[in-house]
A and B are shown apart, each in its own frame.
Chain A
Amino acid sequence: MVRRTVLRSAFAFAATLLLSTGADALLFRAYVSSDGNDANPCTLPQPCRLLPAALTAVADGGEIWMLDSANYNTATVTIGKSVSILAVPGAVGSVVAIGGPAISITAASLTIALRNLVIVPLPASGATYGVHMTGASALTIEGSLIANLPSDGVRVIGTGKIEIANTIIRNNGGSAVFLQNGASADISGTKLLNNENGVVTFSITVTTTRATVSDTIISGGNEGVFSYAEIAGGVARIFVTRCTIQNTSYALGSETAGVGTALIAVSNSMITNNINAWYQSGAGSVIRTLGNNHLTDNATSLGSLTTASLQ
């Protein structure tokens, strides 16, 4: 704490001058720390302790910095404004799931970034998901760890948009990333390890749900990538490039209930050591290879594999 106490006093001047206009103005940067107090104004000299206080103090479009390694919530954190939440590098910025998801986003039209966070559940606390987004907002998760949740790591329902970069999502009891009914995801440079499922797109309404997965590893689990549609007009698609999918039951799964459209398209990837290299089932479901994949040492497959040409 010595270091930061000095840091705080030095910052008082600059912070006051630069980053807020008055005691009552919302802050561009709100701060939380392990020795903070929610009665504080969430400034650097007087940081708050928990995320809800910082979310109240921060301006729309601002940032919340976690200054040292600690846990920063006691219940589901509902984010209701555009904000970046980050732990300073070198700190573990923990947000635990207790009695629901760790982080919930229900409002629409927000732009939210989570950077350098660690999201895990408190065991036997009724935890559900890591991040649950039901509002049509844009969320970026970068350089974070999402692990050990009893259900999905990241769950997006509805037309929200999510970018996941340089993140590890592992050992979750549900899908690493579950997308349903119009959600759109871009996942890159990410490791999805030993989750029940990797990336799942579900359309059970007349929506298009889709994910693009690049430079990513999916290892272990039941489904690797899985697109599923069960209503006429429902579309579920996953595009995979420069990825490895290994040691799953179904590496590439595309299924419909006989209506709707489901697609997995894969290029430049290695699919190895799975029980089913692909699983294609139901009218309107397609597994498409671009002919430049490394499929090897998978036990079997189910349904047909469609080949398309590179261009």
Chain B
Amino acid sequence: MIRRTVLRSAFALAATLLLSATAQAQLFRAYLASDGNDANPCTLAAPCRLLPAALTAVASGGEIWMLDSANYNTATVTIGKSVSILAVPGAVGSVVALGGAAILITAPSLTIALRNLVIVPLPASGATVGVLMAGASTLTIEGSLIANLPNDGVHVLGTGKVEIANTIIRNNAGYAVWLQNGASADISGTKVLNNAYGILAFSATATTTTATMSDTIISGADEGVFSYATIAGGVARISVTRCTIQNTTSALHSETTGVGTALVAVSSSMITNNNFAWIQSGAGAVVRTLGNNHLTDNATSLGSLTTASLQ
């Protein structure tokens, strides 16, 4: 406490001057701490305890800082404004999933960042997914851990956009990242380890669902990357570069029900030690290699592999 008490008093002037106009104004930065109290104003001097209080106190476009290692929720956290939520480096900023998702975004047009968070389920609590975004918002997840969920790590429905960087997503019983019906994802520098499934782009409506995956490892899963379309006009695409996909049942999977378009395109990657190097199934489904991949020691494959040229 000494550290933070000093820090708080030092901050008082700046905070008063710069970061809030009056005691009633919403804060640019709202603070949480393990010894905070939700009756507090969520300032650095008087931090709150749990995320819902901070989300009420923070201004749209502001930030919530978790000041020390603790768990910061008691139920699903619904984020309804543009905000960055981060644990200060050196702290475990825990948000547990209990009775649903850990974090839920249903509103559109928000810009949300989650940084240095740890999202795990409370066992036997009815936890579902780590982050569920059903609103057409923009979400960045960086430097975080999403693990052990009984369902998907990150689940995006509709035309939301998610960026995942430098994150570990592991040991989830569903997909590491599930994208459906118009969602768009960029995944980079991320380790996707021992989930039941890897990355899914799924169009069950006449939408385009896309993921771009770079510098990422997928190890151990049923599906590595899986593009799946089930309706005419539905498009599902995953582009993969500088990745390793190993020890899965099917590393590159592109499938339609005979309608729609599904694509997995892969370059500069190693696909090894999988049961199926690729599965291509259904009219309009393509698995495309750029000819510079290291495919080795996979047991088999199904359907055709299309080759395109580098340019």
B-binding residues in A (CB < 8 A): 2-3, 6-7, 9-11, 14, 17-19, 28-29, 59-63, 65, 67, 84, 86, 88-90, 111, 113, 115, 138, 140, 142, 161, 163, 165-166, 184, 186, 188-189, 210, 212, 214-215, 237, 239, 241-242, 263, 265, 267-268, 288, 290, 292, 308, 310-311
Name the A residues within 8 Å of B168 (CB-CB). 142, 165
CB-based contact A62/B191 at 8 Å: no
Name the A residues within 8 Å of B147 (CB-CB). 84, 113
CB-based contact A61/B148 at 8 Å: yes
CB-based contact B92/A88 at 8 Å: yes
Name the B residues within 8 Å of A7 (CB-CB). 1, 34-35, 68, 70
CB distance from A140 to the nearest CB of B (A): 6
- CB-CB contacts of B161-172 with A at 8 A, as 1s and 0s? 000000010110
CB-based contact A241/B270 at 8 Å: yes
CB distance from A290 to the nearest CB of B (A): 5
Name the B residues within 8 Å of A67 (CB-CB). 69
Q: Is B208 an interface residue, CB under 8 A from the partner?
A: no
CB-based contact A242/B247 at 8 Å: no
Q: Which of B49, B91, B194 has the most C-beta atoms of chain A within 10 angstroms of its own C-beta? A: B194
Given contacts A10-B49, A140-B171, A140-B194, 14 further A-B contacts (CB under 8 A): A3-B2, A29-B71, A59-B123, A62-B123, A163-B170, A184-B273, A186-B244, A212-B247, A214-B217, A214-B270, A215-B217, A242-B244, A265-B272, A308-B296
A/B interface sample: 8 pairs, CB < 8 A: A115-B145, A163-B170, A186-B247, A212-B247, A212-B272, A215-B217, A310-B291, A311-B295
- CB-CB contacts of B268-289 with A at 8 A, as 1s and 0s? 1110110000000000000001
Q: Which residue of B lies closest to A241 (CB)?
A: B270
CB-based contact B294/A290 at 8 Å: yes
Q: Which residue of A lies closest to B296 (CB)?
A: A265
CB distance from B95 to the nearest CB of A (A): 12
CB-based contact B273/A65 at 8 Å: no
Cβ contact of A186, chosen from B91, B96, B148, B219, cutoff 8 A: B219
Name the B residues within 8 Å of A214 (CB-CB). 217, 244, 270
CB-based contact A65/B270 at 8 Å: no
Interface residues of B in 133-178 (CB under 8 A from A): 145, 147-148, 168, 170-171
Name the B residues within 8 Å of A241 (CB-CB). 244, 269-270, 294
User: Measured between alpha carbons, how far is A87 from B1 in the docked complex, in Å?
Assistant: 20
Q: Which residue of B lies closest to A115 (CB)?
A: B145
CB-based contact B292/A11 at 8 Å: no
User: Measured between alpha carbons, how far is A65 from B68 in the docked complex, in Å?
Assistant: 13
Q: Is B102 an interface residue, CB under 8 A from the partner?
A: no
CB-based contact A89/B70 at 8 Å: no
CB-based contact A10/B219 at 8 Å: no
Name the B residues within 8 Å of A90 (CB-CB). 89-91
Q: Is B9 an interface residue, CB under 8 A from the partner?
A: no
User: Measured between alpha carbons, how far is A18 from B1 in the docked complex, in Å?
Assistant: 24
Name the A residues within 8 Å of B217 (CB-CB). 165, 186, 188-189, 214-215
Q: Which residue of B lies closest to A7 (CB)?
A: B34
CB distance from A153 to the nearest CB of B (A): 19
CB-based contact A310/B122 at 8 Å: no
